[in-house]
Amino acid sequence: MYIIVVGCGKVGYPLVRGLLASGHEVLAIERDSHRAEEVSERLGSVVLSGDGSEATALAEAGAKRCDVLIAVTGLDEDNLMACQVAKHRLGVKRTIALVNDPQNETLFKALGVDVTVSHTDFILAQIEEKLPTQPLVHVMPLRERGRQIVDIRIPPDAAVVGKQLSELELPPDILISLVIGKDGTPRLPNGDTPIESGDEVVAVTPIHQEEALLDALTQAR
Amino acid sequence: MKVLIMGCGRVGAMVATQLAEEGHEVTIMDPNPESFRRLPQNTGVVALAGDGTDHEVLRRAGIESMDVFVAVSNRDTLNALAAQIARFTFHTPRVVCRLNDPTRQEIYQELGLEAVSPTQLVSQMILDAIHR
């Protein structure tokens, strides 16, 4: 595949390196000419010094024949414009944008960016996971569907400990997808699956039911 | 009319002042409060320090009741993002966006934004002056 990466900073640089290693044809566009030079020295002549949100730079990079354009600068406005110019002026079929501010995600999708990636969500999930007292971790948002995959740890004093899944009173529209035991063994749950202290329950929940689900699984006896 | 302007550079300040003189209710925002020095005294323009692409800041500036949103900072990409937030997220009835790059102006015009390119306008005026 021929892939154009706009922005060769903290996200762009390892991305370009990884894509090259997987055998793709890659060209990065970097606005800061010093940075472009630095990256060229390390990765070879795969960097174009220029503004990736400008039609001229994108055309020079051969955007017309590229399969995917990935915009990963630190500025949402630059990422959006790179994708819009690529798509509407140069006919790029697939555009992917990094969204630095999660509030821009819905808009980007509505405006024709094919895929958005929000590192804020991932960082938040990782931090939640590292906090020992945090019973709920956001694994992944399924945003267009208004749902979220969550991972909830069952506290020792929870009312649900010792009950079977079918006995639980859960909010509507929730799918328990996986139960991971304290020793790390995952179990595909059914109605008879018992809930034990220290289990991790992975569930798909409507975003507005998240709190209710957390309460249902963690409330003390 | 209620007008919200993003960017208090020379253009933003001038548009704000003129509209206020015409009797419109004008709010202007800019991340750098220093820029409000460009506004003349006692114009009645409300100046608000803040990022014009942040939904919360826009709400506080009253975007939901605005008739017009104007994006005239000195950065094209920022103007395009702010204008599209106003248009598609807050459904502001009229949105005008400054884009210095004439190619970008063309693209966004095709995408349905009212875009103005100072580069194109000034070049044309200079050419007209030479040919006169």
Contacts of A77 in chain B (CB under 8 A): 53, 75, 77-78, 80-82
Each residue's pLDDT expressed in tens, for chain A with a length of 221 residues = 999 999 999 999 999 999 999 999 999 999 999 999 999 999 999 999 999 999 999 999 999 999 999 999 999 999 999 999 999 999 999 999 999 998 999 999 999 899 999 888 778 777 877 776 778 888 888 866 788 999 999 988 999 999 998 998 899 899 999 999 988 899 999 888 999 999 999 999 998 898 899 999 998 88
Write down the mean pLDDT value for chain B: 96
Q: How confident is the model at residue B132 (pLDDT cuts 50, 70, 90)?
A: confident
Say whether A106 and B89 touch across the interface (CB within 8 A): yes
Identify the band that residue B26 occupies on the pLDDT scale cut at 50, 70 and 90. Answer: very high
The full set of domain ranges for chain A reads: 2-117, 122-218
Q: For residues A16 and B10, what is the distance between their CA atoms, to the nearest angstrom?
A: 40
Q: Which residue of A has its CA nearest to B81?
A: A77
Contact B86, B47 (CB under 8 A): no
With a pLDDT cut of 90, the percent of chain B lying above it is: 96
Domains contained in chain B, CATH given: 2-131 (3.40.50.720)
In B, what residues contact A, Cβ < 8 A?
Answer: 53-55, 75-78, 80-82, 84-85, 88-89, 101, 103-104, 107-108, 110-111
**Sequence letter at residue A88:** H
Strands, E assignment, A43-157: 47-49, 68-71, 94-98, 115-117, 136-142, 147-153
Fold of A2-117: Rossmann fold (3.40.50)
Provide the CATH topology of domain A122-218: Alpha-Beta Plaits (3.30.70)
Q: How far is CA A106 from CA A18, A28, A53, A102, in A?
A: 28, 26, 20, 8
Q: How far apart are CA B37 and CA A94, in angstroms?
A: 44
Residue B115, pLDDT > 80, answer yes
Write out pLDDT tens, residues B64-113.
999 999 999 999 999 999 999 999 999 999 999 999 999 999 999 999 99
Tell me how far apart the alpha carbons of residues B24 and B16 are, in angstroms, rounded to a whole number.
9
For an interface test with B, which of A54, A60, A77 has the most B Cβ atoms less than 10 Å from its Cβ?
Answer: A77
Number of Cβ pairs < 8 A linking chain A and chain B: 56
For residue A84 the two structure tokens come to 């819009």
Smallest Cα–Cα separation from A55: which of B131, B43, B107, B57? B107
| ipTM, interface predicted TM-score of the complex | 0.90
Q: Give the CA distances from residue B117 to residues B73, B87, B99, B122, in Å, rounded to whole numbers and listed in that order.
A: 12, 19, 5, 9
Asked whether the beta carbons of residue A81 and residue B54 sit closer than 8 angstroms, the reply is: no
CB contact under 8 A, A78 and B77: yes
User: Under an 8 A CB cutoff, do B103 and A55 touch?
Assistant: yes
